[in-house]
Amino acid sequence: MAESPYTFFGSTDIGQRRKLNEDNLLIDDDLGLFVVADGMGGHAAGEVASAESVEAMQSMFTNDRQLIRRIKESDPPSDEDLQKLTRLLESSIQFACYHVHGLAEVDASKEGMGTTISALVIVGGVGLTGQVGDSRVYFMHDGRATQLTEDHTLVNWQLKEGLITPEQAKRARNRNVITRAVGSRDYVQVDIQSFPVRSGDRFMLCSDGQHEYVELEEIATVLELEPEAACHRLIKIANERGGKDNITNIVVNLT
């Protein structure tokens, strides 16, 4: 068996104030698929939405395992295969959306349930992100961290439109109101981006219960640690600073 091109770890914590953890995460080393999902909806519906979504995505990727294997073995992969991988990521999130929406349609107690999705795919020298909601994917190289994904929130939209200032955005009471979710309807717009990856790149996926408590500079410092230590340190920081929401993260280091 070939040695894995990356090291990784994921962790989730209920936080200090919630009675239920509605976050879920997925790590599939063989498929190169990493997902953080932050569920929403009462009576455990958020937990159902996030769990069903990551399972649906993994199922679609598993069904197309030959594509993953072909890209891993190609140097470089063909444009056609890269396009197929992009479609696979988007389709897997759309499938999760349709599936979760359908579950709510047949069970009135789960009406309105949904989840965020922040996904990272690393296959060969290629990386992709898929984004719905306000969980995030961060990237770090040479000691500098950047946010790869865009938050689909009302506050972020207002900020982009120039309706509020960055200072007002930080203080806004409605800063966690999201404008896109997997499952709230039977279709959702998915942000997809692709990029080359190289040795030394580091990634962090996390729910808003994590990123609300850490700044970019601090993320860069913590990601210098090995993945397991970084995940535990990040959760400790969030809990020490309030832990008002569930906290979930995945750290991936390319070797």
Q: What does the pLDDT look like over 155-209, one tens digit per residue?
A: 887 877 788 877 777 777 777 789 999 999 999 999 999 999 999 999 999 999 9
Q: What is the pTM of this model?
A: 0.94
CATH 3.40.718.10 applies to domain 6-254: no
pLDDT at 44 over 80: no
Q: What is the reported pLDDT for 160?
A: 79
Tens-digit pLDDT profile for residues 49-91: 999 999 999 999 999 999 999 999 987 889 999 999 999 999 9
**pLDDT score recorded for residue 3:** 65
Q: What is the 3-state secondary structure (H, E, C) of 152-199?
A: CEHHHHHHHCCCCCHHHHHHCCCCCCECCCECCCCCCCCEEEEEECCC
Residue 174's pLDDT is what? 74
* pLDDT, position 162: 83
Question: What are the C-alpha distances in Å from 222 to residues 12, 144, 148, 243, 254?
Answer: 17, 11, 17, 18, 16
pLDDT over threshold 50, residue 132: yes
The pLDDT assigned to 82 comes to: 96
As a whole number, mean pLDDT of residues 237-242 equals 98
pLDDT value, residue 250: 98
The residue whose two tokens read 């000691």 is 143
Please say if the pLDDT value at position 41 is more than 90: no
Please report the pLDDT score of residue 76 as a whole number. 87
Q: Which residue has the higher pLDDT, 240 or 42?
A: 240
Q: What is the pLDDT of residue 1?
A: 41
The first and second tokens of residue 56, run together, are 């649906």
| Alpha carbons 211 and 99: distance in angstroms, whole number | 28
Q: What SS3 state is found at 73?
A: helix
pLDDT of 169 reads 75
Work out the number of other CB atoms within 10 angstroms of the CB of residue 133: 26
